[in-house]
Amino acid sequence: MDGGSLADVIQVQKCIPESVLSVIVRKLLHGLSYLHGVRHLVHRDIKPANLLMDLKGEPKITDFGISAGLENSMAMCATFIGTVTYMSPERIRNESYSYPADIWSLGLALFECGTGEFPYIAYDGPVNLMLQILDDPSPSPSKEKFSSEFCSFIDACLQKDPEARPTAEQMLTIHYYLLFDGADEEEWQQAKSLYKEGSVFSFSGKQYSGMNDIFSVLSDVRRKLAGKWPPEKLIHVVEKLQCRAHGKSGVAIRVSGSLIAGNQFIICGDGMQVEGLPNFRDLNVDIPSKRMATFKEQFVIEPGDAIGCYYISNQELYIISQ
């Protein structure tokens, strides 16, 4: 690959900004999801040196020389092979392992790329390194220096118990929706980044332009509908969804459904099912009793400045309070 590996990038740049790393992670997760779910392969050597980039910013997973094939999703490997530095605890203990071992390795690789530092002391030899991985608490990025999304994502990857780690497919859902997963005002503030100064938002017969004005209106709607919480926040129950191409590279989306109070951000209503998103039946939610309003929304997303990033250029929101 003409852009080198992520190891080459951090050797020159020291670390990779979260906004760039976010795009890379999403595409790597698609690759791992295919590797695990379709090919039934455990890579066994995920590390920055094996994550390559081209000059367009497209990442690729490479070096499948020691990957292991599994007959099905429940099968396990039982061999000790790969780079010790990024090896998961279950592999170091020489236990049977499966796809979660790659998730651990990905978490360590992303930690190193995001912070510019490998979280363990690696120069005292492989035995000491393995003892650290087994005995020390899992590393976590500084919550003062990094966003809660990045920290939570790494924490999910670096669970000591392999069964507690999400799959690559589940991590894709976390990656997309973690921004809204909480009542924390700091997390809500980051919703502003979905808009640009040229964005237009229409609500209640008025138009608002620019990220600051749009965010102010959305915050006011949020407060009026549900007040200030925790423990509960506003849930979008998506009951109808339509998408179509818009212009050369945009996407127009039309959504309708209900707004209820709860502890998710977005769930599927009756007749809707999206892989990775919970359904109201799975959560045992009684929508009529919790419905605070119904909504209709249409918006257009356009490519942003960074590769793979989109922003909302035009949005119309209609809310009918109960």
Report which of 49, 129, 142, 58 is spatially closest to residue 88, judged by C-alpha positions. Answer: 129
Angle at 31 between CA 27 and CA 36, to 5 degrees: 145
- From the candidates 8, 45, 136, 155, give the one annotated as an active-site residue: 45
Three-state secondary structure string covering 98-165 = CCHHHHHHHHHHHHHHHHCCCCCCCCCCHHHHHHHHHHCCCCCCCCCCCCHHHHHHHHHHCCCCHHHC
Cβ atoms 81, 125 nearer than 8 A: no
Q: What is the DSSP letter of 48?
A: G
Residue with tokens 């590393």: 139
45 as an active site residue: the answer is yes
Which amino acid would we find at residue 170? Q
> What three-state secondary structure class fits 186?
helix
* Active-site residue list: 45
